[in-house]
Chain A
Amino acid sequence: MTTTETPTPREVTVIFNREDRIFRGVVTGGALTSLVVLGLIGLFLFMRGAQIFGDKGIRFITGTNWTAGSGDGVIPDDFSIGAMLVGTIIVSLIALVIALPLSVGGALYLEFYAPQKVRGILVTLLDLAASIPSLIFGLWGIQVFTSFGERWAVLINDWLGWIPIFSVEFDNFGRSPFIAGCVLGSLIVPITTSVAREVYSRTPRDLVDTCYALGGSKWGAIRAVVIPYGKSGVIGGAMLGLGRALGETVAVYLLLNLVFRYNFRILESEGGNVASLIATKFGEATEYELKALVAAGFVLFLLTLVVNMTATTIVQKTTPRA
């Protein structure tokens, strides 16, 4: 018996004439706008902020002061974003610590536990939640969530106050990194959950079924197959969420007291955030202060760009495009 080879279609080769080349040129030009815009953002912010980097050097990112000078040189201008950077990272990490377990749990629930009828509704809800503007999260946070958050903060402080980060100087629990972090957490949960769900749904069904066939329970299958399989995808999703949290402006602006000193007590009513610093100081900034704000924006831009590029690389590696 001879094996007949199934003919595979030959790769279509197209010879491009002049019209085609024009078309390809135009399309390539259009596609490169995003590259150009991204480059221009970096370039312009750097150019406008360059004077600050020159004046302050590394102290721009390590110092904590943000003092607008008196203009006559008696009180000199002193702008640095150390406290705001640390604050940004603290708030985003709180958000991530809250969002990660919730979204892994949520994604597992949607993929493996939810009854078929409920599932469709919940997935729609998840997609909807991803499109709620962050402004509305902030509004809800300050008007609705804060009363809950303060109560939780008091409880945490009562029980765990002996741990330095849960201690407070003043008994005022509103507008703290904790509360801002909680709201940011619920803001990034839709992002991380969608990515996690996407990855989990790609788990080879055979492997899961094999687990059941070997007598494994549902959790056994999830722990042995699903979670290891989706691990790096979930990490990538978490980093996407982190990038979102680092750059969030209005929600944090509404929920956090900006105080210009290093603060690691997350329940204290003081914190920092580069993005909301820009929004706060922009209105009445002097020309020199404006440059400092642009420089701060440049640092934020670099920070989020690095986080996002890492996340993108991880996600693209783990979810091969169909």
Chain B
Amino acid sequence: MSATTTQEPVAEVRPQTPWSASRSVRAKSGGTLLLSGLLAATIVLFTGAAGIDGWAVMFLGVSLLVALLRTARVGGKERRDAVMRVVITAAAVASFTPWLSIFGSVLLKGWPGIHINFFTQDMRTTVPDDFLEFGGALHAIVGSILMVTIASVITLPLGILSGVYLTEVRGRLTFLVRFVVQSMSGVPSIVAGLFIYTTWVTATESFSAFAGALALAVLMLPTVARTAEEVLKLVPEDLRAAGYALGARQWRTALMVVIPTVRSGLTTAAILGIARVIGETAPLLLTSLSNSALRFHPFDGPIASLPTYVFGYLQIGTEYAIARAWSGSLVLLVIVFILFTLARRFGGKDKR
């Protein structure tokens, strides 16, 4: 290697991306897209194919045609590539559309029922068909919070223990525990409800918030256990070794080094578990039923919850009752989204 004598001041090198589309190419493909859309709209107008879905199908057809025409003069390989690009994009659009439609309709149809009374009143003195300015879902929100809290108190320690077993103790049953947790996450929610009904509810001869919480705990446990395992796995082995090197026993290392390291990760586990069960309806239909009055007692009689509130008013089926159901869904969805955002916030912290 020869030593360079003079060093030219080098201009800052910016990474080149020769493969990315130039402006003219982008303009062209944008134009094609626009024209295809217009063409599809024209076809829809003249053939009587109906609605947004009809338009989407026509647009797909036109796009495929454009892809074929564009590659007519090049080989079959390019043609297949162009066609598959359209097909795959269409599949993505088709799978995302229902979710966007759900978000949109919950927001649009739920919003009219959201008044301050929705959060301050129960339905004790209100009939479902009263104007939306009367009555609310306070009892349902309180019931949901009560049950989810009890379920978390039961599940969280168990879930964390399960995670600690898989990452710290690593006993002989590791494979089995992991397998069972995974299989348990597939237990149908109605079966969880039925289980608690045949055990707790028949034994205490009473539907109650606690019974509902137990059913939710069954569904929540696998989520918490799995997430706890995932975050505990992120703890570097060095930290454990350091703990041992300082003379700490395994239990001290686990409790005072490993678990504090992933505190926010374990919060994520709890939040994801809550998000998993907050909207569960089926098990509550069998364990906590519903109620139109605000109640706080966990062991005494049926209690309302947001999912059963939505379910119940949807079943009543009159205009204002359905509006109440949509508003309940909106609150439920907002809660899920808040939990989701919190989980992300906490989840990002440990990874560094």
Contacts and interface: CB of A to CB of B under 8 A. Distances in A.
Interface of A: 12, 14, 16-17, 19-20, 22-24, 26-35, 37-38, 40-41, 44-45, 48, 101-106, 108-110, 113-114, 122, 125-129, 131-137, 139-140, 142-145, 148, 151-152, 186, 189-190, 193, 216-220, 222, 240, 243-244, 246-250, 254, 275, 278-279, 282, 293-294, 297, 300-301, 304-305, 307-309, 311-313, 316, 322
Nearest to A107: B92
A249 B240 contact: no
B81 interface: yes
B235 interface: no
A113 to B, nearest CB: 6
A247 B311 CA distance: 18
B173 A139 contact: no
Contact of A32 (B177, B183, B184): B177
B336 A34 contact: no
A248 B255 CA distance: 39
B11 to A, nearest CB: 26
B187 A26 contact: no
Nearest to B176: A35
Interface of B: 50-51, 53, 77-78, 80-81, 84-85, 87-92, 94-96, 98-102, 105-106, 109, 157-158, 160-162, 164-166, 168-169, 171, 173, 176-192, 194-195, 198-199, 218, 221-222, 225, 233, 240-241, 244, 249-251, 254-255, 275-276, 278-282, 285-286, 307, 310-311, 314, 322, 325-326, 329, 332-333, 336-337, 339-340
Contacts of B190: 247, 249, 275, 278-279, 297, 300
A122 B176 CA distance: 35
Contacts of A108: 88, 91
B161 A31 contact: yes
A38 B286 contact: no
A240 B322 CA distance: 32
7 contacts: A22-B251, A34-B180, A103-B95, A133-B280, A139-B106, A145-B98, A294-B198
B250 A45 contact: no
A28 B169 contact: yes
A250 B221 contact: no
B162 A20 contact: no
A59 B178 CA distance: 36
Nearest to A216: B77
B162 to A, nearest CB: 4
A135 B281 contact: yes
B329 A135 contact: yes
B191 A45 contact: yes
Which residue, of A22, A135, A137, A294, has the highest number of chain B Cβ atoms within 10 A? A135
Nearest to B154: A33
Given A132-B333, A140-B101, A27 B164 contact: yes
B183 A305 contact: yes
A220 B77 contact: yes
Contacts of B322: 143
B329 to A, nearest CB: 5
B92 A294 contact: no
Contacts of A101: 91
Contacts of A186: 95, 98-99
A34 B81 contact: no
Contacts of A139: 106, 310, 314, 325-326, 329
